[in-house]
Structure 1
Amino acid sequence: MNTRTRVLILTVTGLMAATAIVGYTVNTRDAAAGTSPTGSIDLATADTIVFRDTAPGPDFGHIASVPSAHPDATPTVSSTLCDRFYAANNTAICLQRGGALPATYATVLDHSLHQVRQVKTAGFPNRARVSASGRMVSWTMFVQGDSYLSDDFSTRTAILDTKTGRLIDNVESIPLTLDGKPYQAADVNYWGITFAADDNTFYATVRTAGRTYLVQGDYRAWTARTLRENVECPSLSPDGTRIVFKKRVNASANRPWRLYVLDLRTMVETPLADEHSIDDQAAWLNNNTVMYGRPRQSGGDWDIWAVPADGGGSPRILIPDASSPTPLGTDTGP
């Protein structure tokens, strides 16, 4: 078995373990599976971390919450099932794949996790984001291949303006400037959008000709330009000054990516203290701390970890048996 084959097996296995789901309709209970939610979740609740429960058992895949001051508390588990989840300002995006005839849905939820709008799409749920105001929603699906390490992978990234109802089901149509020159190519793929506070500026990853770049997009002008090479899955800090991202640092099957923070003013990169390979779009717990999903060394279980954003300190488990972390009304720090 060659290195590339091992890479594909390990990555596909990790993705499937992290995102396996037992249903596709939100706000329903599967009595046959023994699902037993413990309560309701309100996205208006301040100082809360909302996440996807990955503990083996009846609550697997359900959206749950804990107080941000006590992440070790017993979670409140809702009846909502998602493969990937994110929320902000009373709006959530839930990506779901499953059902008797497998299909994929991007479902916008309100503060009570009730469905507001559902979009049928294609592919394997991968990334999801909501702007700080709750207006702009984005999601990414794998539509060919199941791994960023596969040469034939393809993504489809959408943007939904919940105020106007405008849906761009594939951002690949956006005019791209690469290294200062207009650029077009058949192999352009975007993923991992993150929004600025103005609900117009966004950042994302673009891949073409085997290279990845951080792009800055203008939603209203519908343009994008590259800022830096080797940046994937960006996530903008609450104060809008930095981006945490995963950087390809190794071609091996075990440690291809590491989390870095990029200062958008100076363009200086800082490696974070966790040296494990992280394949996630990290989230900011506050302006000083980053959190992200990390698979365990053995088995398919995931935990949410946290690490200081300045490159110091040590990584720590924040919430065991969890993925897709979202901070709600958390103190963003100085």
Structure 2
Amino acid sequence: MNHPSDTLLPPAARLKVIVVIIVLCAVLGAGYVLYASQRVKLVVGEQTIPAEELTTLDEVLTSRQRSPDEDDAPVAEPLANSTANMLAGEMESPATPDNGAASTSGTQANLLVFVNRFAGVDYSRLAVANALQPDKRALVDLRCARMYIASGRGICLQGTGESDRSEGVILLFDEQFRETRRYFLMGIPSRARVSPDGTKAAYTIFVTGHSYTGGVGTFSTDTRIVDMERDHRVSLEDFIAYRDGERFQHIDFNYWGVTFADDANRFYATLGTQGKTYIVEGNVQTQRIEVIAEGGECPSLSSDNRSLVFKERIGGALSATHWQLVHYDLATGQRTPLNETRSVDDQVEWLDNDTIIYSMPAGGSTVQPVTELWKLDITPGAEPQLYLANAESPAVIQQAGGSEMGKFSGG
């Protein structure tokens, strides 16, 4: 019988074997990288936005919505403003048509800024469209999971899927979509808003968990208000809360879904604690929060500051969670369920004082889920209508009375 040492290869031969193994590993590794990159291309795809749905920022600026019976109506002269001026709220009044007819509210090109959800290489890029006829979009070089912009200042929440970094970031940007400041994002992007005057921003991220559907106690959030002029952030958990005039506090407080009033000092949000949710009104300066209603999440304030629309949980525990959209009159406290039978897990945006828009899932992949925007009049009995496919996280800039186009709506 041979001794084991007699069967070993000479040192030189063993070195050759090791080299061969290393080379094979390198080849296999390179092959896998090539395979993976091709597989990603198959998942992500190349440009998938139809050419007829793409346009330029200048064309968005000068576009005008026509109703079907206005095909022969004169079109106002293009405004002598850039898209950046429109986003910053520095607008000159639109020209009057040659026939002398005054422009009616809604005839000029209000702007819609949103996150593109066409699957492909442009997924998550911000886009700009005519809010009144958003059939064409102009893309800009900024990617966000959630975003909002008002008066020329915006906030962009980037997860790892929207950047080439290993961590998420919160970007503040200007009217030309240029980054002005950034913070690290230690969590999953959820909600974003900017005050109508552009001085404050708010964001919500999931610290633990990734969805609201599990109910209070199944997730933890971090919600902060950013002073966009002083580079200062404050957590809503540092505010003092009151309910029915008495101090209200529990160790499990979570806030999310901020919406600002016109004065930027006042806001509304959701408070979750002890298995319940509350709609609260807050004051940035005094850092005081008041509970105004029980039930409801992710409020959005109308641009006239008179009402909220929020989602209200129906079911859960032993049944699937259903989110019902509810209109809430701030003066009377009256709640009116809106005529949307589908579950809407979103913080809505206001297209005008009577119409909201919100996102709904529309298929896609787990890597690039597709969503679409629907609109709904708050009038009882109104039916939901598809507003814009392949879009999410909208911000609407409104033109008041056919003249000034200075602010985004305050949702």
TM-score band, normalised by shorter chain:
0.7 to 0.9
Cα pair 1:156 1:190 within 8 Å, conserved? yes
Q: Is the 8 A contact 1:286 1:331 kept in 2?
A: no
**5 Å matches for 1:179-190?**
179-190=244-255
Q: Where does residue 170 of structure 2 map in the other structure?
A: 106
Structure 2 gap ranges (5+):
1-43, 59-82, 87-108, 403-411
Structure-1-length-normalised TM-score? 0.84
The 1:332/1:316 distance shift into structure 2, 3 A limit, reads farther
Aligned-residue offset at 1:329: 3.0
Partner of residue 6, structure 1: none
Residue 158 (structure 2) aligns with: 96
In the alignment, does 2:342 pair up with 1:280?
A: no
State the match for 1:14 in structure 2. Answer: none
- How far has the Cα of 1:38 moved from its partner? 6.3
- Mapped pair 1:176 → 2:238: no
2:227 maps to amino acid: D
The CA deviation at 1:217 is 0.5
1:70 equivalenced with 2:136 (yes/no): no
User: Conserved in 2, the CA contact under 8 Å of 1:68 and 1:330?
Assistant: no
Task: Please point out which of 307, 312, 329 is paired with 1:247.
Answer: 312
Q: Which residue of 2 aligns with 1:140?
A: 204
2:188 and 2:126 map into 1 onto residues whose CA distance is 19
- Matched-pair contact (CA < 8 Å) for 1:207–1:213: yes
Q: Please name the residue that 2:283 is paired with.
A: 218
> Equivalent residue for 2:118?
55
Cα separation, 2, equivalents of 1:190 and 1:63: 27
1:192, distance to aligned residue in structure 2 (A): 0.6
> What pairs with 1:1-334 in structure 2 (closer than 5 Å)?
39=56, 42-45=83-86, 47-71=110-134, 73-98=135-160, 99=163, 102-150=166-214, 151-168=217-234, 170-251=235-316, 254-296=320-362, 300-331=369-400
How far is 1:106 from its partner?
A: 1.2
1:149 deviates by: 2.6
Post-superposition Cα deviations, 1:177-200, rounded to whole Å, max 9, x if no partner, equal: 134321221100000111111111
Q: 1:125 to 1:43 in 2, by over 3 A?
A: farther
What letter corresponds to residue 125 of structure 1 in structure 2? P
- In the TM superposition, residue 40 of structure 1 has moved relative to its aligned partner by 5.2
Shift in alpha-carbon separation, 1:100–1:322, aligned structure 2, 3 A: closer
Q: Deviations over 1:9-48 (max 9, x none)?
A: xxxxxxxxxxxxxxxxxxxxxxx98679965583543611
Counterpart code for 1:68: A
Larger radius of gyration: 2
Give the structure 1 partner of residue 15 of structure 2: none
User: Secondary structure, in 3 states, of the residue corresponding to 1:238?
Assistant: coil
Higher-helix-fraction structure:
2
Residue of structure 2 equivalent to 1:26: none
Q: Do 2:209 and 2:220's aligned partners in 1 also have CA atoms closer than 8 Å?
A: yes
One-letter amino acid of the counterpart of residue 203, structure 2:
W
Q: Name the CA shift for 1:50/1:85 in 2 (closer, same or farther; >3 Å).
A: same
The percent of aligned pairs where both chains have the same amino acid is 33
Q: String of CA shifts for 1:235-262, please: whole Å, max 9, x gaps.
A: 1100000011111122276552111110
In structure 2, what is the Cα distance between the partners aligned to 1:179 and 1:141? Answer: 29
Q: After superposition, give the CA deviation of every residue in 1:76-121 in whole Å (9 maximum; x if it has no partner).
A: 1111100001111111110001156531211111001001111112
**Do the aligned partners of 2:45 and 2:120 also contact (CA within 8 Å) in 1?**
no
Which amino acid in 2 is paired with 1:285? Answer: L
Decide whether aligned partners of structure 1 residues 87 and 159 sit closer, same or farther in structure 2, where only a CA change above 3 A counts: same
Gap runs ≥5 in structure 1:
1-31
- Describe the SS at the equivalent of 1:296: strand
8 Å contact from structure 2 (residues 170, 182) kept in 1 = yes
The secondary structure found in structure 2 opposite 1:172 is: helix
Contact conserved, 1:103 with 1:122, CA < 8 A, in 2? yes
Aligned residues: 300
Contact 1:43 1:89 in 2 (8 A): no
**Superposition RMSD in Å:** 2.3
The 1-side partners of 2:127 and 2:325 are apart by 25
Give the direction of change, closer, same or farther, for the CA distance of 1:250–1:158 in structure 2 (3 Å limit).
same
Higher strand share: 1
User: Is the Cα contact below 8 Å between 2:306 and 2:331 reproduced in 1?
Assistant: yes
